[in-house]
Amino acid sequence: MSVAPGAAASRLAEDLEVPRPLRLLLTAGWSLTESIGLPAAAYLAAAGLDGRDTGLIAGLAAIWLTAIIRKAVTRSVPGLLVISAVVLTVQTAVVLATGELWLFLLQFPLANLCMCVLFARTASGPRPLIAQLAAEVVALRQPATCHPGLHRFFQAATWLWAGIFLLLTASLAVLMVTEPASLFLMLSTAATIALVVAGTAASALWFRSVLRKLGLRLRFAPA
């Protein structure tokens, strides 16, 4: 039994789209490059010439310059770029404030606390941060008509990530005062990777479950 052209078009309008694999890699790669790669490159170049502090300032200047250019050209700043700029600003301010070790280590829980606040402040609103990141990093296109169930998922997923970063904040704060610096750095890295990987896997499985429940499909965009 054939499907009428109008019904097929309506069905496609209800689908969610992501770019084809190569385009998806390019989109995600560019987003990560401007949010992480450019400040990291500026840090490494400047630190190699004049030390860590100069590198931090160069990385911070690079990311804020990128944000300003983005705002001037596109009238908006991507969510991932905002996150990176805020976190790097906090970390640079803490590291440059003093040479004391405990203040240097404080950057790690403070950075996660900033992430928690950034996610939480958008979770109940019309543009939850997870939805913004999905649109910007992987170019996820939602149905033309806003789907309430899908919007509730993005709000809940944003709260989930706010909770993950709050848990990381608390965990790193405890480790900072109970463990020596070298062990703290190792444990904080392991804890961050573990929770981010677990959160990503949980979010992906949850998203798949929600799509099935709502009768929505995820497909590649036309070439």
Q: How crowded is residue 98: how many other Cβ atoms within 10 Å of its Cβ?
A: 10
> What is the pLDDT at residue 24?
82
Longest dimension (CA), the chain: 74
> What is the pLDDT at residue 13?
52
Q: What is the mean pLDDT of residues 153-162?
A: 96
- Highest mean pLDDT among 26-35, 64-73, 145-154, 211-220 belongs to 64-73
**pLDDT band (50, 70, 90) for residue 113:** very high
> What is the pLDDT at residue 7?
42
Average pLDDT of the chain to the nearest whole number: 86
Is 5's pLDDT higher than 70?
no
> What is the pLDDT at residue 144?
67
With 0-12 CB in 10 A as exposed, 13-18 as middle and 19+ as buried, what is 129?
buried
**In terms of Cα–Cα distance, which of 72, 42, 78, 81 is closest to 60?**
42
Contact call for residues 112 and 165 (beta carbons, < 8 A): yes
23-72 pLDDT tens trace: 888 888 888 888 889 999 999 999 898 888 898 899 999 999 999 999 99
Is 106's pLDDT higher than 60?
yes
Q: What is the mean pLDDT of residues 60-88?
A: 90
Contact call for residues 167 and 110 (beta carbons, < 8 A): no
Q: Which of 15-19, 40-44, 86-90, 98-102 is predicted with the least confidence, judged by mean pLDDT?
A: 98-102
CA distances from 181 to 95, 172, 175 (A): 15, 12, 9
> What is the pLDDT at residue 217?
86
Is 201's pLDDT higher than 90?
yes
**Tokens 């990560």 label which residue?**
32
